[in-house]
């Protein structure tokens, strides 16, 4: 490429052209630095500074406060549960739509709906679940009326762990469907047939072929879903109005009004969040590249 270009144009022109290219991408890098990288770095740097700007690990150590540990534990529990259930059911749903022998219109419908639902997070989603499973929600009322079964008396609460998890699933499952469908499409019909001619049963085919091939994609998607839930603020805030102290909500309150009474502890909290979402995303990338290597 480069050599043909060099032969076409004089050297002076070439310098010109590369300058134009660098000028062309400069706004992007300035933008990324100012509104993405520097703010995050500055924030994370704050996690390692005391009030006078001296380097310290005290803020990180202070994260061991019982209330903060409790919110990390709750956050991890909600994110992991919603990611696990979302990944499993999303996988089953995607597999059913692609290879399950259901009518062919189901697949595009599911894909379009997943595109919508995975973007339908935040405040409106919380409203929808309040209207469905809140104390006066349609399903709550219907169960009460038809089966004389009050789910709230039975211990369910939409503003609780299970309520929030159930709500998160509304965007987690579609996200899983969207991420995993290409991997399921990558399963060749010939693999199934080859394994049949070699004498394997359906269960053996799943155990030795399908699951090992899909495993990195499923695990990777789980991590992505996990990070997705861990960083979500709006849905939980609108649903529980900060009564459920998960990490993003705690951080939200801290930004609003320094509820921790220690700005640097806020930065440490942010650092904790980024560490968790960052690691899960990193593992996701590793797992994805592994599955892509096979499928290629």
Chain Cα centroid distance, residue 91:
15
Smaller CB distance to other proteins: residue 23 or 154? 23
Q: Give CA–CA dist 17/186, Å, rounded.
A: 41
Torsion of CA 254, 257, 261, 262, to 10 degrees: 60
The answer to whether the beta carbons of residues 82 and 232 sit under 8 Å apart is no
Instruction: Show Cβ contacts of residue 113 under 8 Å, excluding neighbours closer than 6 positions.
Output: 174
| Binds other proteins (CB under 8 A): choice among 201, 243, 258, 289 | 201
Task: Rule CB under 8 A: say whether 168 interacts with other proteins.
Answer: no
Return the range that interacts with other proteins (CB under 8 A); candidates 53-61, 66-74, 149-157, 264-272. 264-272
Tokens standing for residue 204: 């053996």
Which residues between 47 and 86 bind other proteins (CB under 8 A)? none
Residue 160 exposed, middle or buried by CB count within 10 Å (0-12, 13-18, 19+): middle
Task: Rule CB under 8 A: say whether 97 interacts with other proteins.
Answer: yes
Task: Rule CB under 8 A: say whether 28 interacts with other proteins.
Answer: yes
Measured from the CB of residue 19, what is the shortest distance to other proteins in angstroms?
10
Task: Rule CB under 8 A: say whether 156 interacts with other proteins.
Answer: no
Q: What residues form DSSP beta bridges with 49?
A: 55
Task: Rule CB under 8 A: say whether 93 interacts with other proteins.
Answer: yes
| Binds other proteins (CB under 8 A): choice among 143, 144, 252, 259 | 252
Smaller CB distance to other proteins: residue 78 or 130? 130
Task: Rule CB under 8 A: say whether 88 interacts with other proteins.
Answer: no
């Amino acid at each position: 490429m480069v050599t043909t270009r060099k032969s076409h144009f004089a050297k002076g022109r070439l310098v010109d052209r590369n300058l134009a290219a660098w000028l062309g991408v400069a706004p992007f890098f300035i933008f990324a630095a100012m509104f993405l990288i520097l703010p995050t770095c500055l924030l994370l740097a704050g996690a390692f500074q005391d009030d006078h700007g001296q380097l310290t690990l005290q803020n990180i150590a202070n994260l061991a406060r019982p209330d903060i540990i409790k919110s990390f534990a709750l956050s991890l529990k909600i994110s992991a549960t919603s990611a696990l259930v979302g990944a499993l059911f999303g996988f089953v749903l995607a597999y059913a739509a692609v290879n399950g022998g259901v009518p062919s219109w189901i697949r595009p419908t599911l894909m379009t709906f997943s595109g919508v639902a995975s973007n339908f997070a935040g405040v409106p989603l919380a409203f929808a679940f309040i209207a469905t499973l809140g104390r006066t929600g349609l399903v709550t009322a219907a169960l009460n009326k038809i089966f004389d079964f009050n789910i709230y008396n039975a211990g369910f609460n939409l503003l609780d762990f299970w309520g929030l998890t159930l709500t998160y699933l509304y965007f987690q499952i579609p996200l899983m469907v969207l991420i995993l469908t290409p991997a399921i499409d990558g399963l060749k019909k010939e693999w199934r047939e080859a394994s049949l001619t070699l004498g394997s049963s359906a269960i053996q085919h799943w155990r030795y072929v399908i699951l090992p091939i899909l495993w990195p994609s499923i695990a990777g998607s789980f991590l992505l879903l996990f990070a997705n839930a861990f960083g979500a603020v709006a849905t939980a805030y609108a649903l529980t109005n900060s009564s459920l102290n998960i990490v993003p909500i705690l951080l939200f309150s801290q930004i609003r009004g320094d509820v921790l009474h220690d700005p640097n502890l806020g930065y440490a909290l942010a650092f904790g969040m980024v560490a968790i979402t960052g690691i899960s995303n990193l593992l996701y990338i590793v797992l994805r590249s592994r599955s892509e290597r096979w499928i290629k």
